[in-house]
Amino acid sequence: MPLELTVPSVGESVSEVEIGEWLKQPGEPVARDEPVVVIETDKATMEIFAPEAGTLTEIRKPRGERVQVGDVVGILEPGEVSGPSKPGARTAKSGEAKSKATPSATAPASPPEAVAARSDAPRVMPAAARLMAEEGVATESVQPTGPGGRILKEDVQRTVTQRAASPTEGAPPPGSAPVGDREEEVVKMSLIRRKIAERLVQAQQNMALLTTFNEVDMSAVIALRRQHQERFQERHGIKLGFMSFFVKAVIEGLKDAPGLNAEIRGTDVVYRNYYDIGVAIGGGRGLVVPVLRNADRLGFARIEQAIAGFARQVKENKIKPDDLAGGTFTLTNGGIYGSMLSTPLINAPQSGVLGMHAIQDRAVVIDGQVVVRPMMYLALTYDHRIVDGREAVTFLRQVKDLIEQPARILLEV
């Protein structure tokens, strides 16, 4: 009996989703619990999985169509699956191809295993293919992060940036020339991108945004990480990063500046005695902000593990809408992309966001001496309707002092 693939519930506030990429086409075998189609909400991207092994027989909702929760998007005919869709079959076959399909100088044609390996190559999206041709980037040199292992334009851009840092790697073959000239590509905005645009414009129009800056000496945190990194990783199975220090410092700063942990509801100001800290994470389909619930109760290891888990879910398009809901304050780190300074925009209805930036050695004056220190610029954007300048500067100064003296975070002084 045919099985219907329906849109699952993706959160209390989400009733409509958009069909993204179909990972399977009619007639193709599907293994049990294998992703069949990607759906997009205004908060996250996720996949619909096959409830049973079988064959996809019909696609009822094409890519880009808006559908409701519970709608039927495809039909699956249950039955025994043969071929690479069986769990583990694809991996085994790829491994077999790798060992048997080594080309020789006299081989006139590729063996069957090599053909199978090529059929398992990741799918390249049009914008990514164009950029790969222009930059002379080989498919195998790009790490795909799109749904179903697709290569996105962002993946190619990352590879080009890495190659620029190591010019001898991935150089284009002699005589290669750019392909295409003055081309345009029209791509429909995803629900996530549209929601991001809507909320950013809303923040600009409805809030009195003001940004204040400071800089922080990262020497103490860098030294502390270097001293304890190995034991920390052995014990907790995760690296000790900078973000956990900033989450802890921000929480202490919010205690001194409660307006930054509040929001405006109508004519009321709602102050919170809990700290749900959002951490901005960039993905191929846009910036998302998963939330660390009750972050003040989490230790350094729990914070690092949670952030790493969120980053993995975003990369695999498995982040849940509930993980993105709420949040009382946001941290965003443009420094991982090389940003020196920026004015971050608030994630409404929050009242503040702290922007972190690249760490660079700069000359600073300490005790009358010019010394070189690893410095980071910090930018705090806040809603001036409920947060005044004194409170904002107090918060930023508190964060700076705690990062420069991380022992205070541990001693809670």
| Residue 90 domain flag | no
Residues 74 and 182 placed together within one structural domain of the fold:
no
CATH number at residue 395: 3.30.559.10
Last residue of a domain, one of 45, 78, 111: 78
Q: Which pLDDT does position 18 carry in this prediction?
A: 86
**Averaged pLDDT, 31-60:** 86
Most confident of 1-10, 104-113, 139-148, 206-215: 206-215
From the candidates 236, 296, 322, 384, give the one annotated as an active-site residue: 384
Residue 156 lies in a domain: yes
Are 221 and 184 found together in one domain? no
pLDDT tens, position by position, 325-356: 889 999 999 998 899 999 999 988 999 999 99
Give the C-alpha separation, 270 to 266, whole Å. Answer: 10
User: Over the range 166-195, which residues count as b (16 or more CB within 10 Å of their CB) and which as e?
Assistant: eeeebeeeeeeeeeeeeeeeeeeebbbbeb
Which residues, including other chains, have CB under 8 Å from residue 126's CB and lie 6 or more apart?
185
Collapsed DSSP state (helix, strand, coil) of residue 323: helix
Query: How far is 108 from 32, CA to CA, in rounded Å?
Result: 39
Let me know if residue 262 belongs to a domain: yes
| Domain-located, residue 68 | yes
pLDDT band at 209; cut points 50, 70, 90: very high
Specify the pLDDT at position 65: 87
The reply to whether 133 falls in a domain is yes
User: What are the phi and psi torsion angles at 99 (to 5°)?
Assistant: -85, -25
- Same domain? For 28 and 7 the reply is yes
The strand pair at 35-40 and 45-49 is best described as antiparallel
Distance CA 245, CA 403 (A): 7
Half-sphere exposure of 117 (CA within 13 A, CB side): 15
**Residue 188 — pLDDT band, cuts 50, 70, 90?**
confident
Same domain, 386 and 272: yes
261 and 200 fall within a common domain: yes
Give the chain's domain count.
3
Q: Which domain holds residue 40?
A: 3-78
Q: What's the mean pLDDT when you consider all of the chain? A: 82
| 377, part of any domain | yes
CATH number of the domain enclosing 183: 4.10.320.10
Q: How far is CA 374 from the centre of its chain?
A: 26
Q: Are residues 45 and 155 in the same domain?
A: no
Instruction: Tell whether the model's pLDDT for residue 175 goes beyond 60.
Output: no
Q: What CATH number corresponds to the domain at position 13? A: 2.40.50.100
pLDDT score of 140? 79
The answer to whether residue 389 sits within a structural domain is yes
Instruction: Answer yes or no: do 60 and 15 share one domain.
Output: yes
- Whether residue 106 is predicted with pLDDT greater than 50 in this model: the reply is no
Region 49-77 average pLDDT: 89
Instruction: Identify the band that residue 111 occupies on the pLDDT scale cut at 50, 70 and 90.
Output: very low
CA distance 360 to 177: 36
Token pair 């929001």 is found at 263
CA-CA distance, 98 to 119, in Å (whole number)? Answer: 13
pLDDT of residue 368 exceeding 50, the answer is yes
Three-state DSSP class for residue 342: coil
Per DSSP, the three-state class of 196 is: helix
**Residue 163 forms part of a structural domain:** yes
**What distance in Å separates the CA atoms of residue 325 and residue 322, rounded to the nearest whole number?**
5
Is 155 catalytic? The answer is no
**Residue 263 has what pLDDT?**
95
Residues 209 and 346 in one domain: yes
DSSP string of 323-381?
HHS--SEEEEEGGGGT-----PPP-TT-SEEEEEEEEEEEEEEETTEEEEEEEEEEEEE
Q: Are the CB atoms for 147 and 192 separated by under 8 Å?
A: no
Tell me, yes or no, if 384 is annotated catalytic.
Answer: yes
Angle in degrees, 0-180, between the axes of helices 153-165 and 126-135, rounded to the nearest 10: 20
Q: Are residues 257 and 155 in the same domain?
A: no
Q: Which whole number is the average pLDDT over 290-299?
A: 95
* Residue 288 and residue 232 share a domain: yes
Same domain for 214 and 137: no
End position of a domain, from candidates 23, 57, 78: 78
**Could you give the maximum distance between any two Cα atoms of the chain, in Å?**
82
DSSP conformation letters of 72-95: EEEEEEE----STTSTTHHHHHHH
Note the residue count of the chain: 413
Residue where a domain stops, chosen among 51, 78, 105: 78
Confidence of residue 308 (pLDDT cuts 50, 70, 90): very high
- Give pLDDT tens digits for 389-407: 999 999 999 999 999 999 8
Distance CA 329, CA 289 (A): 10
Under DSSP, the state recorded for 336 is G
Nearest residue to 155 via CA among 188, 127, 196: 127
Cβ atoms of 45 and 77 closer than 8 Å: no
Spot the catalytic one: 296, 322, 388, 401: 388
Question: Are 373 and 240 in the same domain?
Answer: yes
Predicted confidence at residue 284, as pLDDT, reads 64
